Structure 1
Amino acid sequence: MATEVLVEWADLDEGVVMIYREFSRRLRLAYDPARITERAALTLLGQRVAGVDAMAIHRADT
């Protein structure tokens, strides 16, 4: 299970509000701030990945 989330902004395709990928103990999340808030993206991520509420959140420089 991942223990860290790296959060990034991204200009995603129409209809895509966020994407994520797991890398061992790290999870990388990109969301489109024009379509969804960071809080909403993390909530949606929590519905997809068990234990996300216990993860450390890191924001990438944008």
Structure 2
Amino acid sequence: EVFLTYRDNLGWKKLFQMIPIAGMVFGAYINKQAISDIGEVGMMLYRKRRILEKVSQSQQ
């Protein structure tokens, strides 16, 4: 789920990096944004896992 979304967005981002000067600036911004997005997704997946664990424990 996460990989497919990241893969789809990565293609467009890398396309814009091919523009010579603007590509450097755009690439730096995109890389920073990608790291931020990956961190956010990781936190959300961790929270989702913890909630599912608590739900399954309460049902037992």
What is the TM-score normalised by the length of structure 1?
0.28
Larger radius of gyration: 2
What is the TM-score normalised by the length of structure 2?
0.29
Q: Which structure has greater strand proportion? A: 1
Higher relative contact order (CA 8 A, sep 6+): 1
